Amino acid sequence: MKKHKIGMTLSLVLAAGTLLGACGKSNDGDKAGKDGNKEKAFSVAMVTDIGGVDDKSFNQSSWEGLQNFGKENGLTKGKGGYDYLASKSDADYTTNLNKLARQGFDLVYAIGFLMPAAVEEIANQQKDSKFAIVDAEVKLPNVASILFKEQEAGFLAGVAAAQTTKSNHIGFIGGMDVPVIERFQSGFLAGVKASKPEVQVDVQFAGAFDKAELGQAIASKMYSSGADVIFHAAGATGVGLFKEANDRKKKDPSKEFWAIGVDRDQADMGQNVVLTSAIKRVDVAVKDLSTKTKDGHFPGGEVTLYGLAEDGVGLAPINANAANKADIEASVKDWIEKIKSGTIKVPGTRDELKSFNPQK
């Protein structure tokens, strides 16, 4: 009887120990699982404007930033990782934003100034979702806004163009006449004025960001009228500029037909014609904001501004074939220091440009 009681007691102790051990393992597993899921669950996606993800410019730079963020965080392309939806028309903006939010992406980007109305509509409907918009401001607690000092990049492009031209005649092709492009234009004209005020600048807006044939037609007219350097801030429309410059260079290699790119380093659009590019680091901004959000620091309802000081804009390397490459680089470096130190403030509007004095 005594032996039987001892055996029963021992069995109960072992059973309790097994149960407690099982509970302990279960709790540890749940914790690890939750921690693991927390890391893996963060996902991010973007909606392009009508220029498309391979526009060689703005959308492409945004997608590159998203890809870099995804790869660095062990994410895969697709639902639950990082992804994008391309918009073929304005009507797609709300549909695409809503679709990504419903798919459970933790952060959804709207790429471009054309989408504030769509973002506001969907953000009000999907209040538990987080959104970010590039190149526009939406004042809602679940929307972060990203803006750039495009005028500072445009200014440096203007300096490079003014010091490169031999005809004292250059051109500017804008996509649409909107604040973002006005900042590029104002900065560019200010850079020309600061570097070589006697240079003539032709300015024309295409009225679209996805019409390469229109960009080529405008570039052709400018080159034919004597311009030897043309800067574009026109998205996929600017692809036409590069085609025209390359075509002319092939026909007459002895003449200079320089083109200046925008948003990303567009040197790959023509090694004999691309002088430099006014870089707008959308990729840096997208990656930066994604990281902040992932770490629990989503700047909802705020505007994050990226300029030269934040490494958000800049100028790509000067083409090695430029006759006075070293002089251009030295001048650009000097102006960068003046802008960063606040010695000069680059105008961001045409009204500010009227009173701009580079000597102040």
Query: How does pLDDT run across 167-180, given as a tens digit for each residue?
Result: 999 999 999 999 99
Alpha-carbon distance 41 to 86, whole Å? 23
Query: Can you give the pTM of this predicted structure?
Result: 0.82
Please report how the helices 150-164 and 179-195 are oriented relative to each other, as an axis angle in degrees rounded to 10: 40
**pLDDT 10s digit of each residue in the chain, 360 long?**
444 444 444 343 334 444 334 443 333 333 333 344 445 569 999 999 888 898 877 899 899 999 999 999 999 999 999 999 999 999 999 999 999 999 999 999 999 999 999 999 999 999 999 999 999 999 999 999 999 999 999 999 999 999 999 999 999 999 999 999 999 999 999 999 999 999 999 999 999 998 999 999 999 999 999 999 999 999 989 999 999 999 999 999 999 999 999 998 999 999 999 999 999 999 999 999 999 999 999 999 999 999 999 889 999 999 999 999 999 999 999 999 999 999 999 999 999 999 999 886
Query: Tell me, which fold does domain 150-280+324-354 have in CATH?
Result: Rossmann fold (3.40.50)
Pairing relationship of beta strands 229-233 and 169-174 according to DSSP bridges: parallel
The 10 Å Cβ neighbour count of residue 280 is 29
The 10 Å Cβ neighbour count of residue 137 is 14
Q: What is the DSSP string of 116-138?
A: HHHHHHHHHH-TTSEEEEESS--
Pairing relationship of beta strands 274-280 and 313-315 according to DSSP bridges: antiparallel
* Residue 124: partners with Cβ closer than 8 Å, 6 or more residues away: 140
Q: How far is CA 298 from CA 21, 84, 209, 227, 289, in A?
A: 40, 20, 30, 46, 7
What DSSP designation does 269 have? G
- Residue 357 CA from chain centroid, whole number: 30
User: 3-state DSSP call for residue 159?
Assistant: helix
* Residue 299: partners with Cβ closer than 8 Å, 6 or more residues away: 144, 289, 292
Quick one: the chain helix, strand, coil %, rounded to 5? Answer: 50, 15, 35
* pLDDT at site 360: 65
- Is domain 42-148+286-292 given the CATH code 3.40.50.2300 in the classification? yes
Range list for CATH 3.40.50.2300 in the chain? 42-148+286-292, 150-280+324-354
Answer for the pair 143, 167: CB distance below 8 angstroms, yes or no: no
Which residues are bridge partners to 15 per DSSP?
none
Place of tokens 């220029």: 51
Alpha-carbon distance 45 to 82, whole Å? 5
Q: What is the DSSP string of 170-204?
A: EEEEESSSSHHHHHHHHHHHHHHHHH-TT-EEEEE
